[in-house]
Structure 1
Amino acid sequence: TYIKIHHALVDGVSGARMMASALAQTAQEQKPPLWAQSYGRAPGARSAKAAPGLVEQFQSAVLAGRQILPGIASGLWDVVRPATTQDWAALPFQAPPTPFNVEISGSRRFASQSYPIARLKAIGQAASATINDVTLAICAGALREYLLVQNKLPAKPLVAMVPVSLHGETSEGGNQVSLLLANLATHMADPRKRLQRIVQSTAQAKQRLMEMPRLQKMAYGMSSISPLGPGMVTGTAKKYPPFNLVISNVPGPKESLYLNGAHLDEVYPVSIPTHYLALNITISGYRDTLGFGYIACRRSVPALQRMLDYTDNAICALESALGLPSPSVSHPLTSTAAKPPAKKRVAKTETKKPAPVVRAAKPRATTVAKKAPAKKVAKS
């Protein structure tokens, strides 16, 4: 089943909730399709008579602006200030140019893979990091190897834009999200130090974000992504990208779900690449697994399927650096059987074939025609 909803209507968390509500929790339960369900009256919907006039709307906008603008100004200063002394802080327009920050075409390629949440939680516990920090470190390791193979790894660390859900502060649907910038430390070869740098970067950004009121958080997030617009129009986003890519982690349902009796095995998120953001990584949870979804422009980001191998390598590298055991199969799926390892191909060397044995042909038996006996002629 493939579900496609425009991002202007819902964010990742709202989309996951809609998916869960459209599916059943038992194999026997039947539900109508997503488009036939009734979600009731939208929160805050008003009748035509109660609709506010232009003056009231203008007054509300002015009041909201007075509440939001001071927080944005102080928030930007709190972000810029540590960047002057700490190299782990992430700032807009400090991201280096990469092969991901180019114009895209209409061609797409999608690659995905699932991992047990318990495996990633073990890494987080060993490094005193959250599951979100661990997923960022895994993506950073995969991105580093991908760029190294192409000999295009920049000296400066990549910067990711990370959406932060605000649904815990309100019961409303739609888009309730803010944004923060994370230093991925792709310039560091040590996976453990890379994870520590990511923890420092996200902790500082989250601390400042959580101190803002909800409206200021949303406005701050929009102000962080707004510099991308002029860069797209002028083309400067290729050389001076505000960030290199978007990495989102969307929590999903913890229980098993069904569709007309069929069990939902896995969930893979398919997000949106855009101009100068040719690669998008979204992680989605379902039951006891996390699904990594990579989507990119096929022409701008070639060989995207290799990111799955690099993701495996990044997880194993973190486990090795933290002294954790790695499973024999690098990505055992909890919902489907792991594939057996591929058979090794043995290189064949050319050897001279023995000359064929030539056997002498046996002479064929020939039959000689017997001459007829000479007739005796009587003498006269």
Structure 2
Amino acid sequence: SRPLWEMWVLEGLATPDTVAVFFRAHHALLDGTSAAAVLRKLGGAGTTPSARDLDPVRVHAGGANPIGLVAGGLWDFSVRRPLTLARLVPEAAMLPWRLRRATATRRSGGNSAEAVEDGGDAAQTTPIPGAAPFTAPRTRFNATITPHRAVRGTSLDLTEMKEVKNAFGVTVNDVFLTVVGGGLRRYLRFHDDLPEKPLVAVVPVSTRGDEGTQGNNRVTVLFASLGTDIQDPLERLRAVARRTRRGKRRARGGMRPGLIQDVATLAPSGALSLVMRLYGDLHLADLHPVVHNLSVSNFPGPRKTPDFLGARVTHMYPLGPLMHGSGLSVTAMSLGDRLDVGINACEHLLPDPGLIATGLRESMDRLLELTREKAAGAGDAGATDSTPPGSTTTEEG
């Protein structure tokens, strides 16, 4: 009953001669990678002609072919659905075992062969529990969500993130997850709601080939611990990098990218809508264990500053979807030498996303400071990450 995509132009902003373009699409159409590709196509990379040079595009809506509709329906009913069902039955039976194998980690000390295999320093890395569904602690934003949203955008210096990445031999995504963990640690301490167990984030992992055109959604997911129980930012970075490296190898063996789409194809839409409506109306997400605390995503954007109908794009803040039981998402997209971060939250569960934005920036500043101190030979003893957002002290514990 609603459009699968829409675009709004928002005027009257505080900055003169600036407008915001708000683009929203249903996840059935796009995942993060394909959405970024669409935005690159819309914006170009400094090559989009001026608006006055564009000719209007005329769209013709042709009538549907009745024969084609009948043939397609017969094919879907008699061939596609039985084939999908035959594939799903054994896969569904094996899925719990595969997910357990994909997310299970051994609780071992820093001298384990697994830590050495993953490139960790056995003498300095802090083991953290393996992340798995339904093991996340409950926080203030893990409950049934409402339709109202609170959003905020912030930016991180991609050059600084790469400096940390190169210093420790990790990835930019490892640095980003560590920064998010530090920002959320500050935020939850500010609200006196920091759990002893580390927060668990669900992280989409693209399974596209180099051509990037394999369907609308080609993702699997991994469950990543954000190490919010670790005060030392450098220790958290090592732990997060070690776990995500191992998790990515196992995620491909857990859930097939097309599994959710196949299930949705077979499920009656009316019954599925009713179930989801009852799930929200009855607040069932408040009763069972938390599946995950939030979603965290990071994907590449345009390498060059794009134009949009002749106007220069200054920021691109992506906003991830929310679901019952997980009222927060933190999504980042690169734009030149900057990483723009969009924070999307349920307004009734997390009305102050600006505090998270502040915490992310301060967490990144502290991580960079400790990285440079370590490079200069100052060491990292006593480094902590516990200061509430907005604090003026350089210590985080």
Structure 2-normalised TM-score? 0.69
Work out whether residues 159 and 245 of structure 1, in 8 Å CA contact, stay in contact via their aligned partners in 2: yes
Give the letter for the 1:17 counterpart: A
Work out whether residues 231 and 241 of structure 1, in 8 Å CA contact, stay in contact via their aligned partners in 2: no
Which residue matches 2:304?
255
- Residues of 1 paired with 2:81 and 2:22: CA distance? 41
Q: 2:30 aligns with which of 1, 4, 10?
A: 10
Question: How much has 1:265 moved relative to structure 2?
Answer: 1.6
Q: Deviations over 1:332-352 (max 9, x none)?
A: xxxxxxxxxxxx9xxxxxxxx
Question: How much has 1:258 moved relative to structure 2?
Answer: 1.2
Which residue matches 1:362?
none
Question: How much has 1:237 moved relative to structure 2?
Answer: 3.0
When residues 60 and 112 of structure 1 are mapped into structure 2, their CA distance, relative to the original with a 3 A threshold, is same
Give the letter for the 2:314 counterpart: D
Give the letter for the 1:82 counterpart: T
Q: Is 1:238 paired with 2:275? A: no
Q: Is 1:216 paired with 2:256? A: yes
Summarize the alignment of residues 330-341 of structure 1 with structure 2, pairs less than 5 Å apart. Answer: none
3-state secondary structure, aligned to 2:24: coil
Which residue matches 1:153?
194
- Residues of 2 paired with 1:120 and 1:181: CA distance? 22
Which residue matches 2:219?
177
Which residue matches 1:376?
none
Q: 1:162 aligns with which of 195, 199, 203?
A: 203
> Sequence identity, in percent?
26
Which residue matches 2:49?
29
Unaligned runs of 5+ in 2: 1-20, 60-66, 109-126, 264-274, 376-391, 393-397
Q: 2:345 aligns with which of 293, 296, 299?
A: 296
Work out whether residues 98 and 244 of structure 1, in 8 Å CA contact, stay in contact via their aligned partners in 2: yes
When residues 268 and 36 of structure 1 are mapped into structure 2, their CA distance, relative to the original with a 3 A threshold, is farther
When residues 232 and 201 of structure 1 are mapped into structure 2, their CA distance, relative to the original with a 3 A threshold, is farther
* Residue-pair matches, total: 314
Summarize the alignment of residues 10-89 of structure 1 with structure 2, pairs less than 5 Å apart. Answer: 10-26=30-46, 29-30=49-50, 47-48=68-69, 51=72, 52-65=75-88, 68-69=91-92, 72-79=95-102, 81-82=104-105, 87-89=128-130
Larger radius of gyration: 1
Which residue matches 1:121?
162
When residues 94 and 5 of structure 1 are mapped into structure 2, their CA distance, relative to the original with a 3 A threshold, is same
Work out whether residues 24 and 258 of structure 1, in 8 Å CA contact, stay in contact via their aligned partners in 2: yes
Give the letter for the 2:160 counterpart: R
Which residue matches 2:386?
none
Q: Is 1:107 paired with 2:148? A: yes
Give the letter for the 1:248 counterpart: S
3-state secondary structure, aligned to 2:251: helix
Question: How much has 1:161 moved relative to structure 2?
Answer: 0.6
Question: How much has 1:93 moved relative to structure 2?
Answer: 1.2
Summarize the alignment of residues 328-367 of structure 1 with structure 2, pairs less than 5 Å apart. Answer: none
3-state secondary structure, aligned to 1:167: coil
- Residues of 1 paired with 2:193 and 2:345: CA distance? 17
3-state secondary structure, aligned to 1:61: helix
Work out whether residues 209 and 217 of structure 1, in 8 Å CA contact, stay in contact via their aligned partners in 2: no
The two structures, once aligned, show a CA RMSD in angstroms of 3.4
Structure 1-normalised TM-score? 0.72
Give the letter for the 1:157 counterpart: P
Give the letter for the 2:285 counterpart: A
Give the letter for the 1:112 counterpart: G
3-state secondary structure, aligned to 1:194: helix
3-state secondary structure, aligned to 1:299: coil
Which residue matches 2:319?
270
Work out whether residues 156 and 361 of structure 2, in 8 Å CA contact, stay in contact via their aligned partners in 1: no
Q: Is 1:283 paired with 2:332? A: yes
When residues 268 and 28 of structure 1 are mapped into structure 2, their CA distance, relative to the original with a 3 A threshold, is closer
Question: How much has 1:231 moved relative to structure 2?
Answer: 7.0
Deviates more, 1:17-26 or 1:181-190: 17-26
- Residues of 1 paired with 2:358 and 2:197: CA distance? 24
Question: How much has 1:168 moved relative to structure 2?
Answer: 2.2
3-state secondary structure, aligned to 1:113: strand
Work out whether residues 27 and 260 of structure 1, in 8 Å CA contact, stay in contact via their aligned partners in 2: no
Question: How much has 1:67 moved relative to structure 2?
Answer: 7.4
- Residues of 2 paired with 1:48 and 1:324: CA distance? 66
Give the letter for the 1:2 counterpart: F
